[in-house]
Structure 1
Amino acid sequence: MIKNITTRFIIVFVTFTMAGGFVVWTLRQSTSLQNDLFLYEREVVRSFRALHQKAQALHIDALTHILSKLVPIAREERRRETIVLENDVQKAFSALGHFNAHFFAEHSLAAQIRALRGEWSHFLKRREAFLKAAALLHNDGTAFRKAESDYMVAYRTLLHETATLEQLYRQLFRGYIEKRQSSIDAALLFSSVVAAATLILLAFLLFEVNAINHKLQSYLQEREEYQHKLAEVNEELSHYSEELESEVKKRTEEALEHLKKNPLTKLPNRLSFMEYLNKSSHASVAIFNIDRFRSYNDLFGPKVGDKIIQEYAAYLRQTIPYIYQIYHLQGDEFAVAELDRKNAATFLAMIKQAAKLAREFHFTDANGDFVLQASIGVAIDQRRPLVKADMALKHAKHSNESLVVYSDNLIQPHRYLENVTMTKELANAIKEERIVPYLQPIADTETKEVYKYEVLARLVDAEGKVHPPYHFIPLAKQIRLYPDITRIIFKKGMELVEKHDLHLSINLSADDIHHHPTRNFIIDRLALSTKSDHITFELLESEETKNYDEISHFIEKVKQYGVKVAIDDFGSGYSNFAKILKLKVDYLKIDGSFIKRIDEDSDAREFVEIIYHLASHYNLKTVAEYVSSESIYETVRAIGIDYVQGYYIAEPRPFEEIQKERRAASRAVTEEVEALNWDEM
């Protein structure tokens, strides 16, 4: 309602302003109209009166001079009078023209004014001719009468035209006045109506304001009553709020307590443990972890897994003195801690004693009786004790020790730093393609002539240092950058093949084949090359080589482009000769662990001979890796191995060095041939 009244007051104000504006405009127009009437009187009426008077004066003057016979004597005087009269006439015409231009723009009388000027000029000429004829009256009476007649016609015409133009002025100005007066009357009427309507609206508004005022008084009285009641309610709410706050605080404490406990074992959880450790800068911590718990959980299901954790937690509680709180960190991991540095030795002795019982745990359920073992990592009086106890636990897991105490010599932090540095270096090297191919010859065993080269990856760091594969390949597999290395080496290998007509052997892992983007990249690149038959893929035989169907499909696909296939590290422990035969490979590269000791170990030699005979039976060529000495070379040659590779033949080198060596050898042969030819001559 208030908003509506405000709007109405605004309307009243606007309408009053409009009415006032119209009244002011009407007054200004009335004043302007009075000024126009005054101007008409001054410029038009006076001008026409002057024209009539001047015409009559000139006419009377002419007749007077003729009657008095003074024409010859007063000629100069008449000329002066005539000039004065003509000036007055010009002023009158200027006033008429100015008024016409200002008021009669739509109905201009400029043509009539010019015509009247012309009549005046004609009248003056006839008057002058009449006066001259009067001066010669005694000589020529006929000329006088004719001049008199023309003069009188001109005089009457001038009077008639002046009267006519005056009438036109009067009519047009009357129309102008009537039009202006009509506009003023309409504006005055409109402003009166608006003012009346505004007054009526204002009366209604005052009535409404009065009604609202009564309602407001009633509302204020009710509000006072409500405030009194509200004060009573607030007092009750305050009392209830105190009770509610007490209840919320109690429930919050219970919820926080619940959040700090593991729901399965009801032991304090990792959050509680971290709060406890934060009370001191140094602490001693022991972590207990059930070995191979995931296997039991996966094998027998989560219900059995939960039961194992619950019973192990109860077993720990029986094993560890009650002065130490046991914390359930996560899953199958528990911890105890000691914050007092003075008790660190006692804590370690207690843990070692408890470990004798806690590292083995007997568990029985419907699936049978089991003996579960646990690994224990301990950090004594250390900063960041949880992290260091976890390092000791991981070391215990990998070293098959049941309990390991952290020491600075146990975990070497510089190894972590090296891994971080190498991760960054590896990522940049891949981005900048500083992964480069090194080539190691594979030679014919009998002739030692290079048959082809194996492509081996090297990383050139930002300072130009060359890193061997074992520095970055395992890390690349961990951080999933290995496919990028494979693609870079394969791309650069194909460039060497196509540019220098080399035969290359390139390593591929089962992961490369199972990784669809890498596999598709290889196949697409082979399809674009005219020398894909120069390529041999060495497939690394390992536990990963289980999806033989996908590998077999890949081999069939690349063989369509003339590619040959070798099994690398054959005999390394995962060989399945029957399935390998189904892959239709071309070469077997015997694992270097047998070749390195073949000249000293009879078992190794016997194993290599078995592989050779099996390969020969199925028409597979054999390659011996790690041939590092003449003794090893002669041994594999005696067995009948087809090809050899190793430092005895040549080290892996960049292609640029191999190319220089080949060019040097070529020049030497050329020089020798030229020398022989010269000797014969």
Structure 2
Amino acid sequence: MKLQRFNFLNLAVLFLLIGILSSSFYTIERNGMLNYLADGVNQSLFRLEEDIQKTLQQDHLENVQALLDQGSAINSGIRILSVSLDGHTIAVSSSRSLIGKVIEGEYLPLTQISEGLVENESLQYESEVTYFSGATKKRALLLVDLDKAYIFERLNNIAMFYALALFLGLGATALALLVGVRKLIIKPLERIAQRAQNQDIIAEKHLIEELSILDQTLCNSFHSMQVQQEHLKEALDESLYLDGILRTVADINQLLITAKDVDELLMNSCLRLAEHPGYELCYIALKEGESLVVQAYSNDPTEYLHPKMKIPTEDLTDPTVRAMKEMSTVIIDHLEYENSFGPWRFIAETGLYGSVISLPLISAIDALPLGVITLYTKYSEGFESKEVSMLEELAGDIGFAIRSFTQREQLKYYLTTDSNTDLPNRFSLVEVLSRESMYGLAIINIDRFGDINEVYGVSIGDAVLSQYGHWLRAKIASWKNIELFKLGSDEYALVATQCNDLKLFTDLLENLISTTQKEVFRVEGIEIVLTITVGVAKSTEQVLEHATAALKQAKRNRHSLEIFSSESKQEQENNIAWYKRIKEAIEDSRIVPYFQPIVDNESGKIIKYEALIRLVDVDGSIVSPYQFLEIAKKTKLYPELTKMMITKVVKLFKDSAFPVSLNLSTQDLTNHDLADFLEETIHENGVGQLMIFEILESEGIENYSSVSEFVDRFKAIGCRFAIDDFGSGYSNFDHLLKLNIDTLKIDGSLIKNLPHNRNAQIFVKHICDFAHEMGIKVIAEFVANEAIFHQVKAIGIDASQGYYFYEPSPIVVGGN
């Protein structure tokens, strides 16, 4: 908005304010005069009311007329005074024409005369006059009609006069001030604004000192702005140049993300840098041993550079060599004055370049350079400090990217390759198994490999794994559709692809099994012979699980090779179902002991009991341990079963006079946590002399030191031990010789054949005599009928257990 227009706008606003002020003054003055008049009317009527009251009490109505005539003459604002005795008709009035007429209009109480005049301009008011006529109290109304012309017109004229006088006075004063302000302030400001618009640098003197200062300041500012404008133009040109470099750097940083390998990264970086208007030739050389080798370069008009070109590192004038050795940026300006003789100087002279910069590719702080990036430009002073900083940052990013690519390749190798055998590992196998062309999978396990590690040490074991891996690779080299992988520990995997004949695959595996047994692997002068077990499965979504299951099945069946079948799958599903049932039974405390008495063969009396584990199903049916115990032993649930049996049996027998025996597997005997729990339970309940632990001979005892330690530990607190199922294992008499056993229980497979098998009789007699010679008591299991019992007794066995005497029962039959 221009200053002149602003001036007129201010004038209009000023007069508007004066008008508002005058109007307000008028309103205030008018209301003040009306309040003053109302007070006067009140004062005039106060005495008149008293006089009318006295006159009415004297019953002189004609005198009231005289009072009303006098009252209307007292105050000019009163036009008519009337009195009504009944409140409806006028009895007496200063206007004779109203006498006898009905009261018309709305009369306000006289007490509200001020509000009525100011707010509503009401002219009719009434006041109640109370008097006594004789003894009767009566009321009359004094009616007041005010003179409108006197009150409003005259008073309005007076108020308007005062308001107009105020308006004119303030207006004249405002005009005078406006003229002075225009001359002293506005006109100088207009001239200052005009000079500012013209960017004049010559100031003017003004009457008001502050305006002179303002004028001079503006002129000085315009002079300074003209100087800065020139500097900004130079800075803009520099910024545009640096912006171009920044865009180039940003593009190359994008290449760092999208490049597939180092070669693509380096080539695209060189090409993109050479596209920048300031640069001409770019090449990147990486360190290989003690040499610098050119890996990528942009378009070379000199035709000097070529792929894998080696840069002489003995030429210390070469900026590329210097940047590598000094690990810092090297810049050489004014190449036209350089007298060096080297490849870099030949490139500069042939390409007519003015300056060169070489930057080391350093991937991290304190890291050695991976190589050097070199740029040539036409300008003799071609590199500014900010530009160098951006290029140094770019060189660091490229160095970091090179290192990342290298580490990525290394990581990929470590993730997908077994470091010991240099074969693809399990991670690679999982990727291959997703192929549609995959036909079958075989998992090869080296039997008893843990013994090799234990006997010869881990380093020998690793060497054996490596040799066997190379041996397998050589064996399958002619099979183009067979891939070899190294799994964890002592396992390998063979994947058959593009093969439709399982027999061909299994023939190869059978050949590997037989040739492995014949091969001798030599490590540090040690000759080692291996045997293997193989699990095979056809391609499915769960081929790895199926092959693993087949391998486990082969181990259990002691077969060299096992092929996964639907029966194996059904067994897995059955195992899972049993696991859930066992777990729920433990949580619901549905694992219970059943007790079968053991009878002395001479007296026929019960001498002790054996606690046998049972599972109570959700429907209340009793499940035999033959259905669930072996599955439990393969899971972490088995120790919980043993603990639950110990707790319940000890609770029942702690006050009994009869000993009780519990079956312990070799897994129980080597479980230190279970041993601590058992010892603590025995001490708390004082049942050491009552507890007999039966070691299952049918499982085979391999770790005699651990088992013997367990036996000695609990015999020290009064417990006794028995060998259960004796005659079902492979090293029976070793158990008797190596373990401090109290009782021998002969397996039922031998006992049940005694009546009709002479060999069984001889063998059992031999066992019984041998045990007695060692001071060991003998118990016969599976005594199911009288014929068996007579044979058992005739042989000299001490006690019997079986259905001939008692069946297992949830209660202690014949005991406490």
Specify the TM-score bucket, using the shorter chain as the normaliser: 0.5 to 0.7
Within the alignment, does 1:603 sit opposite 2:759 as a pair?
A: no
Secondary structure of the residue aligned to 2:722 is strand
2:460 to 289, 295, 304: 304
Within the alignment, does 1:44 sit opposite 2:39 as a pair?
A: yes
1:632 to 785, 788, 809: 788
Given that 1:269 and 1:327 are in contact with CA atoms closer than 8 Å, whether structure 2 keeps it comes out as no
What amino acid is the match of 1:569?
D
Structure 2 matches for 1:53-72, cutoff 5 A?
A: 54=48, 58=51
| Inter-partner Cα distance in structure 2 for 1:486 and 1:29 | 106
| Inter-partner Cα distance in structure 2 for 1:465 and 1:576 | 39
| Larger deviation, residues 647-656 vs 487-496 | 487-496
Given that 2:663 and 2:696 are in contact with CA atoms closer than 8 Å, whether structure 1 keeps it comes out as no
2:495 to 325, 333, 337: 337
Within the alignment, does 1:327 sit opposite 2:484 as a pair?
A: yes
Deviation per CA, 1:342-372: give whole Å up to 9, x if none. 5655555555455543444322233522223
Structure 2 matches for 1:58-137, cutoff 5 A?
A: 58=51, 75-78=60-63, 94=111
Secondary structure of the residue aligned to 2:740 is helix
1:473 is aligned to 629
Residue 630 to residue 489, structure 1, CA distance change in 2 (3 Å): same
| Inter-partner Cα distance in structure 2 for 1:630 and 1:27 | 140
Given that 1:359 and 1:375 are in contact with CA atoms closer than 8 Å, whether structure 2 keeps it comes out as no
Question: Shift in Å at residue 644 of structure 1?
Answer: 1.8
| Inter-partner Cα distance in structure 1 for 2:690 and 2:21 | 107
Residue 286 to residue 516, structure 1, CA distance change in 2 (3 Å): closer
Q: Which runs of 5+ in 2 are unaligned?
A: 1-17, 72-80, 84-107, 117-128, 135-209, 265-404
Residue 34 to residue 636, structure 1, CA distance change in 2 (3 Å): farther
Secondary structure of the residue aligned to 1:77 is helix
Secondary structure of the residue aligned to 2:418 is coil
Question: Shift in Å at residue 652 of structure 1?
Answer: 1.7
Question: Shift in Å at residue 327 of structure 1?
Answer: 2.1
Given that 2:659 and 2:690 are in contact with CA atoms closer than 8 Å, whether structure 1 keeps it comes out as yes
Given that 1:442 and 1:643 are in contact with CA atoms closer than 8 Å, whether structure 2 keeps it comes out as yes
Residue 306 to residue 455, structure 1, CA distance change in 2 (3 Å): closer
What amino acid is the match of 1:607?
I
Secondary structure of the residue aligned to 1:309 is helix
Residue 655 to residue 223, structure 1, CA distance change in 2 (3 Å): farther
Residue 76 to residue 255, structure 1, CA distance change in 2 (3 Å): same
Deviation per CA, 1:319-362: give whole Å up to 9, x if none. 22334354232244334433223565555555545554344432
1:369 to 515, 521, 527: 527
Question: Shift in Å at residue 507 of structure 1?
Answer: 0.9
Specify which structure has the higher proportion of helix.
Answer: 1
Question: Shift in Å at residue 238 of structure 1?
Answer: 3.7
1:446 is aligned to 602
Question: Shift in Å at residue 605 of structure 1?
Answer: 0.9
| Inter-partner Cα distance in structure 2 for 1:321 and 1:336 | 12
| Inter-partner Cα distance in structure 2 for 1:437 and 1:610 | 32
| Inter-partner Cα distance in structure 2 for 1:578 and 1:381 | 49
Deviation per CA, 1:243-286: give whole Å up to 9, x if none. 88254487488458624333333333334444444333551444
Question: Shift in Å at residue 646 of structure 1?
Answer: 1.0
Residue 365 to residue 26, structure 1, CA distance change in 2 (3 Å): farther
What amino acid is the match of 2:247?
N
| Inter-partner Cα distance in structure 2 for 1:36 and 1:484 | 104
Secondary structure of the residue aligned to 2:775 is helix
Number of residues of Structure 1 aligned to a counterpart in Structure 2: 510
CA RMSD of aligned residues (A): 5.5
| Inter-partner Cα distance in structure 1 for 2:661 and 2:33 | 117
Structure 2 matches for 1:281-296, cutoff 5 A?
A: 283-296=439-452
Q: Which runs of 5+ in 1 are unaligned?
A: 1-22, 66-70, 100-119, 129-199, 663-681
Question: Shift in Å at residue 422 of structure 1?
Answer: 1.0
Residue 284 to residue 494, structure 1, CA distance change in 2 (3 Å): closer
Question: Shift in Å at residue 505 of structure 1?
Answer: 1.9
Given that 1:594 and 1:608 are in contact with CA atoms closer than 8 Å, whether structure 2 keeps it comes out as no
| Inter-partner Cα distance in structure 2 for 1:351 and 1:570 | 38
Question: Shift in Å at residue 405 of structure 1?
Answer: 5.7
| Inter-partner Cα distance in structure 1 for 2:633 and 2:66 | 129
Deviation per CA, 1:636-675: give whole Å up to 9, x if none. 334554432112212223439x69xx9xxxxxxxxxxxxx
What amino acid is the match of 2:693?
E
Within the alignment, does 1:234 sit opposite 2:243 as a pair?
A: no
1:538 to 693, 702, 708: 693
Question: Shift in Å at residue 604 of structure 1?
Answer: 2.1
Residue 469 to residue 372, structure 1, CA distance change in 2 (3 Å): same
Secondary structure of the residue aligned to 1:655 is coil
1:264 is aligned to 420
Given that 1:541 and 1:575 are in contact with CA atoms closer than 8 Å, whether structure 2 keeps it comes out as no
Give the structure, 1 or 2, with the largest relative contact order (CA under 8 Å, sep 6 or more): 1
| Inter-partner Cα distance in structure 1 for 2:438 and 2:780 | 57
| Inter-partner Cα distance in structure 1 for 2:543 and 2:68 | 130
| Inter-partner Cα distance in structure 2 for 1:73 and 1:306 | 146
Given that 1:497 and 1:534 are in contact with CA atoms closer than 8 Å, whether structure 2 keeps it comes out as no
Residue 41 to residue 629, structure 1, CA distance change in 2 (3 Å): same
Within the alignment, does 1:567 sit opposite 2:725 as a pair?
A: no
